[in-house]
Chains A and B, each alone.
Chain A
């Protein structure tokens, strides 16, 4: 009986806390990457809708936008000096981590919420869950782990991981926008966007949306064929080599 009451109470509080509604939309739900594509920026618009349950005193909101690209397994290797040369010695496997990851906010993550909530809501690159396989165990590790920080650093250098605590701008106290930069070598697939709303340091709700990145054109056709029909692809490449060689011997025939 007491337990049931407790559940009821939590439910009531939960619905009370969900007094704001988030309405969002991205400028383009389907991005096509053509051969001369050199990066693009999507725009995410949204507004915070208040209703009667909203506390009257609540004026300002904080937002954290998380964009996650298609997930993949990745191996991070570390080089060490062995007998005077640098070779790969140790490695860690990152399981089903996002191939693209971007975190945007309207002010610094520390100012938005407490470290405890930030960790639970995965706010900031240091708090996003990146599962590793460490000798049979599956776990995320401390943010300053050498492999984890090496991994994030390399992805950031390629523009695939980023965090920008000033990317979200409030046009009015409830209307906001943010740009989502997509680099030239953006992975194709479905991208999930999570928008988390905070007020006075507390997490008060979230919403989700998604967009898709597709590659079109000859290059994509080549890449797909190479992966799916390796034999035919190999035969065509070999035939192409023979043709080129033969053409050259005709064009440059000396006699």
Chain B
């Protein structure tokens, strides 16, 4: 069944988009991530312009992270204090990100920047995650105990605050900075940032695993809602019809993904996720290096009359 997307200005097959939403939802439910880093590239590959893809995926991630956050809230696995400090940074970062997005679009370098950020971020995070997963897997094979966590330089920073539910005592500076960074790249790349945020919170901020996913979902939810709003107001690029199809597919797929994820061991899960992230990054890198089919592109500046 063909459906015309009003903002993307393109007819698409509803079932194809629904299936993409479900597939990405499955993966995101399995790994406990938003899945934006998979959804945005998939949309670009089926012919939707990167700008519309980034803006529309924001609302799709908001939907999936809201259903996730509700579940974590019921289990009391969200730290409200930590979430609000993160959000201070997140909202600022999102506003900065959308502003940069608009500037880059005017310069004609938006598509390039989106592709470059994907290459840099995904190959780095992917290879770190993959090698870490590999090492963890080797360790469990050999039966060695994982190294004990120690305090690092971040815990020496001033402006400390007690986060009761997470049972940590931490400076607000790194928390706000993490919020800004995630909000910024989220708005530019159309990702929730969960796959970067969760490792940062665990390894750098030492947030306990009991509250980390729920809290990161709150940040994703609010920054993505805010990004949707800003993209709609400044660039008019949010395709609500596309977003709705993605959401419905996504939230459904996520439920089955979550069940599948419980059957796989943590280290293997991380290894798989690392591989997945890495391959998306490499795919973008190849796209940049090979000669494009057509060297020319046209952008319409708004029809008059």
A interface residues (Cβ-Cβ under 8 A, vs B): 35-38, 70-81, 84-88, 91, 96, 99, 147, 150-151, 153-155, 184-185, 187-190, 219-220, 222-223, 226-227, 230-231, 233-238, 240-242, 244-249, 252
Contact = CB atoms under 8 A, between A and B. Distances in A.
A75 B108 contact: yes
A248 B304 contact: no
Contacts of B70: 245-246, 249
A151 B252 CA distance: 43
Contacts of A79: 292, 295-297
Contact of B296 (A77, A234, A235): A77
Interface of B: 2-7, 9-11, 59-60, 62-68, 70-71, 108-109, 111-112, 116, 224-225, 228-234, 236, 238, 240-241, 243-244, 247-248, 251-252, 254-255, 288-292, 294-305
Contacts of B230: 234
Given A241-B62, A244-B251, A85 B241 contact: no
Which secondary structure characterizes the binding site on chain B? helix
B67 A249 contact: yes
Given A71-B305, A151-B298, A238-B229, 4 more contacts: A75-B299, A77-B299, A154-B294, A231-B232
A189 B305 contact: yes
A131 to B, nearest CB: 14
Contacts of A240: 59, 63, 240, 243-244, 247
Contacts of A220: 6
B305 A234 contact: no
A245 B297 CA distance: 37
Contacts of A222: 6-7, 240-241
B296 A151 contact: yes
Contact of A230 (B3, B233, B255, B305): B233
A219 B232 CA distance: 16
B302 A242 contact: no
B240 A236 contact: yes
A153 B296 contact: yes
A231 B298 contact: no
Contacts of A73: 300-302
B297 A241 contact: no
A245 B3 CA distance: 23
Contact of B6 (A37, A75, A80, A219): A219
A238 B62 contact: yes
A161 to B, nearest CB: 11
Given A75-B301, A241-B247, A234 B232 contact: yes
B107 to A, nearest CB: 9
A79 B289 CA distance: 12
Given A79-B295, A155-B298, A226-B6, A234 B60 contact: no
